[in-house]
Structures are given as C-alpha cells and as structure tokens.
C-alpha cells in the first residue's frame, strides 16, 4: 500500500477517534440544561467529563497536524475556504474549555453553563456542516483555491449533515451520562437517550441515504448500514438498561458514519464541482521522505498515547452521583 493511502486511512482513523471521544463531550454539554435540575446535578454532569475532555481534544490536534504534514495542499485549501466555520469551531472550543475550567472557581455559574452549552452545540453542528461540504464537493479553481462564499457552505445538504452530527453526538452524550452516573441523573439520561436516538436515526439516516445516492460506493453502503444498526443497537441496549453496550453500539455508529464519509471521499481529499480541479491523495500529498518520517513517528508514539488515554479512562471509570 502506498504511503499516501496509508496516511489517508490514518487521518480517517484520527477523525474517527476524535468524533467518538469528543462526541460524548459535546453531547454532555448540550444535555446539561435538560438533564441537570440543580447545581449539585450540574456539577456531577461536568465531573463525568472533567478528567478526560482535554485529552479527547488531542485527537483533533493530531488530526489537524497530520493533515498539514501529509497533505499540505488539502490543509491550505480547507483552512482558507472554510475559514469562517473553522474559526467559529475554534472559538467555541476555547469558550467551552474556559467555561469548564472556571465554573468551579466562580460564585455565579450561570454564565459559564451557557458558555458550556453553546460551546458544545456549535462544534457538534458545524463539524457536520464542514464534512458534508467536503464530501459533496466545493467550487475550487484551477489552483485548488476555494472560489465560493460562506453561503455556498450553508446549503440544505450541509445543514442536514450538521443536524445529523448534532443529534448523533447528543445521543452519544446521553448514553455516556447513563453509563457514568447513578440515580435520578442516570434515569434522566436514559430517557433522553431514547428520544435522541430516534432523532439521530431519522436525521442520520436521511443524511447517509442522500450521501450514498449522490456519491456512494458499494462498500460504503455496508458502513452506512452498520451506522444505522449501531444507533438501533444503542436504543435497544438503553431500553434493557445495558449502558455499556449502548455506549459501545453508538461508538460503532459514529465510527461507521466517519468511515462512510471518508470512504466516499477516496481517492479525493477535497473534490471540486469541476472534477478536473479536485484535490486527490496524489496531487495534495507531501514528499515520500516526509511521509516515511511521519510513519515512523506514528509507529513509535501512537501506542504511548493510546496507552495513556486508556489508563485515564480506567482510573476514572466509577459512576458518579449528584451531591
């Protein structure tokens, strides 16, 4: 397998890890006003992600860094063309991080809780908008520069993609809260998970169906089916009170959605409306020497990062209660 293919797959894996792990962070932020009735419950909700949320964001940094190093043309076109939505995502992540750090040090937490909510909802929606546009194709000129406007990115298909990721991450946050809490909080999270699961099945199913009809490949019909089965499995497991299985099933669904998007993208990394101007893994990649060095660095350090993160989740695995 060529190194350009290896790094396309690795970048897809990094985005999958980011959406699976940060996805429940976003969901917890979106659900906090709905589930937590008082300060003790809100504090318990925040504590469920307190030890892990910043570690989850490492996947985004690595995915962005790997894209820059392995496919610099893709990185340049993406960050110049999608400047406003990516800036809004970055701003929301900063606001959200500040809210998580400072709400425990403030006498008045309402403002920080609003920042936590909007800082979670914004990226959960905008990531779907961004990836829907990438898969659908955008106007690129002959120099591979984005030739559209912000409003071109806000098309109905992309907005449906945003709704799909928002509902899917909200479901992920609900099953995570059911897994990590006890008592009233767990019951509320399970109740919301059943409602969010139906929404995720509807919006996510519609988004993947349109994606498959427009640019689907035989293999991605399979991953799309796995995604639908994962959400259905999360609903069934939640109904039976099997919180661990519900979280696992929904994690599989998120991984399958990401695999469907990247599978339909290949061999492009950013398709253009005029196929002659598309960025591919061949014309957007770095030199073979750079990719070789990156591969050795990944082989050495990836197990270390994965081991540390797994240890963190194991240490903070106990359920939490309000109070």
- pLDDT at residue 114, rounded to an integer: 94
Position 75 scores a pLDDT of: 92
pTM of the model: 0.93
Taking only Cα atoms into account, the Rg of the chain, rounded to an integer number of angstroms, comes to: 20
Rounded mean pLDDT, 24-49: 92
Strand (E) positions, the chain?
Answer: 268-270, 279-280
What's the confidence (pLDDT) of residue 118?
96
Q: Specify the DSSP class assigned to residue 141.
A: -
Q: Each residue of 124-153: b (16+ CB within 10 Å) or e? A: bbbbbbbbbbbbbbbebeeebebbeeeeeb
Q: What is the mean pLDDT of residues 174-201?
A: 93
Residue 84 clears pLDDT 80, i.e. is over it:
yes
Cα of 242 vs its chain's centroid, Å: 24
CA-to-CA distance for 177 and 92, rounded, in angstroms? 22
Confidence check: pLDDT of 305 > 70: yes
Q: Which helix (H) or strand (E) holds 53?
A: helix 53-56
Work out the average pLDDT over 255-277: 93
Chain-wide mean pLDDT for the chain? Answer: 92
Q: Residue 164 — very low, low, confident or very high, per pLDDT cuts 50/70/90?
A: very high
CB atoms within 10 A of CB 320: 20
Q: Would you state the pLDDT for residue 275? A: 87
At residue 107, the 3 state secondary structure works out as coil
Quick check: 82 and 139 in contact, CB under 8 A?
no
**Phi, psi (5° rounding) for residue 153?**
-80, -20
- pLDDT higher than 90, residue 37: no
DSSP state of 316: T
Spatial distance between the Cα atoms of 184 and 6, rounded to a whole number of angstroms: 46
Question: What pLDDT is stored for residue 323 in this prediction?
Answer: 63
- The predicted model gives 161-181 an average pLDDT of 96
Question: 3-12, 100-109, 170-179, 269-278: which range is least confident on average?
Answer: 100-109
pLDDT given at position 240: 93
List the beta bridge partners of residue 146. Answer: 140
pLDDT tens readout for residues 102-147: 988 887 888 999 999 999 999 999 999 999 999 999 999 888 888 8
Ordered by start, the domain boundaries in the chain are: 3-191+261-316
Q: What is the pLDDT of residue 148?
A: 82
If pLDDT is split at 50, 70 and 90, which confidence band does 315 have? confident
């Amino acid at each position: 397998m060529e190194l350009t293919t290896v790094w396309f797959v690795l970048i897809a894996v990094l985005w999958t890890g980011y959406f699976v792990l940060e996805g429940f962070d976003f969901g917890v932020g979106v659900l906090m006003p709905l589930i937590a009735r008082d300060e003790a419950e809100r504090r318990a909700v925040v504590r469920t992600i307190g030890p892990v949320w910043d570690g989850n964001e490492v996947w985004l940094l690595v995915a962005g860094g790997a894209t820059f190093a392995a496919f610099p043309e893709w990185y340049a076109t993406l960050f110049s063309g999608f400047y406003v939505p990516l800036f809004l995502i970055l701003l929301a992540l900063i606001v959200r991080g500040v809210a998580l750090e400072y709400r425990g040090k403030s006498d008045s937490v309402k403002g920080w809780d609003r920042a936590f909510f909007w800082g979670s909802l914004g990226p959960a929606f905008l990531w779907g908008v961004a990836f829907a546009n990438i898969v659908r194709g955008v106007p690129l000129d002959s120099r591979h520069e984005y030739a559209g406007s912000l409003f071109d990115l806000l098309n109905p298909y992309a907005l449906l993609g945003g709704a799909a990721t928002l509902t899917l991450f909200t479901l992920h946050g609900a099953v995570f809260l059911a897994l990590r809490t006890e008592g009233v909080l767990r019951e509320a999270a399970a109740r919301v998970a059943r409602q969010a699961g139906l929404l995720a099945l509807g919006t996510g199913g519609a988004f993947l169906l349109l994606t498959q009809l427009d640019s689907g490949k035989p293999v991605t019909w399979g991953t799309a089916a796995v995604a639908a089965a994962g959400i259905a499995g999360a609903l069934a497991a939640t109904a039976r009170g099997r919180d661990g299985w519900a979280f696992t099933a929904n994690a599989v669904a998120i991984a399958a959605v990401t695999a469907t998007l990247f599978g339909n993208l290949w061999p492009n990394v950013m398709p253009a409306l005029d196929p002659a101007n598309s960025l591919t893994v061949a014309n957007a990649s770095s030199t073979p020497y750079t990719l070789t060095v990156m591969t050795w660095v990944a082989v050495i350090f990836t197990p270390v990062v994965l081991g540390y993160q797994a240890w963190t989740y194991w240490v903070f695995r106990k359920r939490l209660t309000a109070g």
